[in-house]
Amino acid sequence: MTLPLLLAGPIIRRVEQNQVYIWLSTSRYVQIDAFFYSISNDTETQSIHYEPLRIQVSSDMIQSGKNLYTYLIKTTPFASVFPLDSLIGYNILFKNRYEQIDLGDLNLLNKQYPNNIVYGNLRYPTFIIPEKTDTNILYGSCQKPHGTDQSVMVTVDKVIEQKAVDIQERPNSLFLMGDQIYADDVADPMFYKLQHVAQEVIGEELQQLHTLDSRLNMKPFRTCIDQLNGRQIIMSNFAKFTSHQAKNHLIRYQEYAAKYLLTLSPALWENRDNHFPTFDELLHKDRYYVIYPAFKKRKRKKEIKHLKKRYEKELCEVEEFIPTLSAMRRVLANTPTYMIFDDHDITDDWNISPEWVDNVYHAKLGIHTITNGLSAYWLFQGWGNDPKGFKSFLPLFTSQFHYYVTNSIFPERWAKQLTKLPIWSFVAPTNPKSLFLDIRTMRDFDYRPKPLRVGSVYQEGKNSPELIGKDGWNVITRTLNRSKWAVGSPLIIISPTPFYGLGIIESFLKKFVYPLRAIGLPVRYALDFEAWKYNGRGFNRFIQHLFQWNPQPCIILSGDVHYANALRSTVYNQLKGKLTINQFTSSPIHNMSFSGIWGKSLKLIVALNSITRKRKTFIRSFDKGSNLSFGKLSVVKKKQIIWHEEINYLSTTSGKVMHTHNNVGLIKITDEMIQNKLIMNKRTSTYKKSFR
């Protein structure tokens, strides 16, 4: 079947007063033009007027497959700036030697078409460049196709629909703060689909993976690597990854690219053969990897029964996810969007420890996979965050993708270059400015042993990493300074994992779950063993930079942890005064929270604990020995501390300090207030929880 022209997008990316970037991917090479319109709403006549804007249009294109062309379109006004605090509509024209078509010809401007990208009575997709308009930022993370319940992006889409022409209330930015795709946790039906899309869009990979590791040419690896359910042992033993959900882990660039195309847009799902075969059909065609051989009949039969049950469950979840993609595309087409990675965009546990780094980066299959995932992240997410910042690197990326198209593999030197480029943190031009932190590639590791005791077992464990090391903070400081942000000005900081987690959860993981894993027991848990507070030196380094910058106010937005909450901390330093930090966390957009016996137990504990937590001030201090500790400050302790803080958890209007349903945050910032709402699904209606 013929591929649609527009595979993904359009997505409004970086938006400034004098330049706007739009991202999209097509299945064939085209020339791009764009048209902008200043939109005014006449309340008396209840009519909408469209005035064409004179703009200059240029675009950069990167081909990364036989049928995959990705464009970043830059538009600048002939006037000094675009219209501010008003709606701007846009249309895109695709031209080649034989035809020219626009978004209307693709039915995307047709309100009768269910997958259109326009809101209300508007003719075009629209966005706002705020100057005096209130800042309304949507933020969230963790969207897994086979997550439970409905993706909350459907509800976000309805919220924007209701506020489409309301300049003061309509969201004017979207922050996606990590795990936009799950490269490690891929459902069986999704893996089946993306294998077909990868071949169709990118093309067959010419170099076989066994050239990276000769063991992949042995039985059963040479066949199971492309079977459903066949990659767990390969990723664990040959790539040295530590994800427990690696049964269909993405490896090739073409697979990462296909996953992005299938989760950013409905284009490759609609008007195509989306029939999924039954489990029995796949088993009959030898598409499934079954661990037990045929001669172990009883065990094989039980395993097949388990696999069938899992496939049918995941198939229902994926089929429920597909219709939500039209809402996802419409939100992205109408809201300036900024994205940062967390671990699942590449693999679970990415750079979690020095042992992980040493093992994976010395395994050819491991570094091959990371290179593919990070290259895809740059093309589908990173490029549009700060195109000017990437300008000097663009020839380098272009040449690497050109090499890939020719050879179906990136050059070996690219793996060494890419993973060391300090380019992922950036500042978004929101009001106030937003600093996005890369907490994955700029870590520092503490190699000193950490004593642990579990019952009568004594063991030396590992210290948690500094999520951003000294060199990383130097890079981030230069990035912030280049943005012309002024010390003492308001600042939003995006940390994919919360700077302040919910204390009882982090303590539960640190005291009970982490020690069991550290002594080698196979404890599995859905939440990450990564938090800022697990490394006192790293936590203090963050605090010291905040004192140095003195943002007023200081707002931190986070995701990752599969719950939503809010808190306020006032940090006191005898030499530097005090600083107030407001943190809001929203997660997940579409995923499971607190499942299994560990999760349910912890959820109950948190529910009971939160009764006192919302009326209590917690005191935490940092001493000269780089230790973080809770409790009141004695006279002796006051002489030893560098700073202390008073932490207050904020409750929603329903009285809860934590929410675990799928949610997206909506923060409003004005000169007088900061208001945070949680947008969640509740059957077919919308409800919001406001933090006081």
Helix boundaries (H) for 163-226: 188-197, 221-224
The CA–CA distances, whole Å, from 359 to 236, 328, 484, 486, 623 equal 11, 37, 40, 42, 34
> Sorting pLDDT into bands at 50, 70 and 90, what band is 686?
very low
How many structural domains are present in the chain? 1
In a domain, 471, yes or no: yes
- Peptide linkage before 220 cis (omega within 30 of 0): yes
Q: Is the pLDDT of residue 384 over 50?
A: yes
Is 601 part of a structural domain of the chain?
yes
Number of Cβ atoms within 10 Å of the Cβ of 217: 12
Averaged over 175-195, what is the pLDDT? 96
Out of 20-34, 272-286, 505-519, least confident range: 505-519
Listed residue (375, 357, 358) closest to 424, CA to CA: 375
Written as six digits, the tokens of 442 are 């700029």
**Residue 542 above 50 pLDDT?**
yes
Cα atoms in the Cβ-side hemisphere of radius 13 Å centred on 509:
20
Mean pLDDT across 330-344: 97
Residue 6 falls within a domain, yes or no? no
Does pLDDT of 687 surpass 70? no
493-499: average pLDDT: 96
pLDDT digits (tens, 9 = 90+) for 571-625: 999 888 999 999 999 999 999 777 666 666 666 766 666 666 667 888 999 998 8
Per the domain annotation, does 606 fall within a domain?
yes
The mean pLDDT value of the chain amounts to 89
pLDDT band for 660, please (50, 70, 90 cuts).
Answer: confident
Q: Residue 157 in contact with residue 320, Cβ under 8 Å?
A: no
Confidence of residue 684 (pLDDT cuts 50, 70, 90): very low
Burial, 544: exposed, middle or buried (Cβ in 10 Å; 0-12, 13-18, 19+)?
A: middle
| Structural domain contains residue 314 | no
458, β-bridge pairs: 453
The predicted structure's pLDDT at residue 1: 63
Torsion-angle region of 430 (φ positive above 0: left; ψ -120 to 50: alpha; else: beta): beta
Structure tokens at 233: 């042992």
- C-alpha closest to that of 75 among 138, 118, 23: 23
Q: How far is it, in rounded angstroms, from Cα 393 to Cα 17?
A: 24
647, β-bridge pairs = 569, 618
- Residue 685, pLDDT > 80, answer no
Q: Which residue has the higher pLDDT, 232 or 629?
A: 232
User: What share of the chain has pLDDT > 90, as a percent?
Assistant: 72
Listed in sequence order, the residues at least 6 apart from 626 whose beta carbon sits closer than 8 Å to its beta carbon are 536, 537, 540
Which of 362-371, 454-463, 544-553, 594-603 comes out lowest in average pLDDT?
Answer: 454-463
Kindly state the average pLDDT of the residues 440-453.
78
**Contact indicator for 238, 216 with CB cutoff of 8 Å:** yes
List the Cα angle 298/303/304 in 5-degree steps.
Answer: 100
In angstroms, the Cα distances linking 285 to 161, 231, 290, 542 are 45, 18, 13, 54
Q: Alpha-carbon distance 163 to 276, whole Å? A: 38
The residue range of the domain holding 512 is 428-661
| pLDDT for position 149 | 87
Q: What tokens appear for 625 in the block?
A: 């020995």
User: pLDDT at residue 419 above 50?
Assistant: yes
The answer to whether 412 and 462 are in contact (CB under 8 A) is: no
pLDDT for 377 equals 98
Percent of the chain exceeding pLDDT 70 equals 87
pTM confidence score? 0.94
List helix spans (H) across 529-673: 536-549, 596-613, 635-640
The region of weakest confidence among 74-88, 177-191, 567-581, 636-650 is: 636-650
The Cα 568–Cα 645 span in angstroms is: 10
Say if 451 falls within a structural domain: yes
> What six digits make up the tokens of 138?
């949507």
What is the pLDDT at residue 209?
Answer: 87
Write the DSSP symbol of residue 564.
B
First to last CA, the chain: 53
CB 373 within 8 A of CB 183: yes
CA distances from 525 to 146, 147, 561, 587, 600 (A): 18, 16, 12, 17, 11
Kindly report the length of the chain. Answer: 692
Structure tokens at 199: 């071949």
Residue 525 has pLDDT above 50, yes or no: no
Label each residue of 50-119 as H, E or C. Answer: EEEECEEEEEEEEEEECCEEEEEEEEEECCCCCCCCCEEEEEEEEECCCCEEECCCCCCCCCCCCCCCCC
- Based on the number of CB atoms within 10 Å of its own CB, is 537 exposed (0-12), middle (13-18) or buried (19 or more)? middle
Residue 24: per-residue pLDDT: 98
**367 SS3 class:** helix
Hey, what are 672's tokens? 């007088």
Residue 692 has pLDDT above 80, yes or no: no
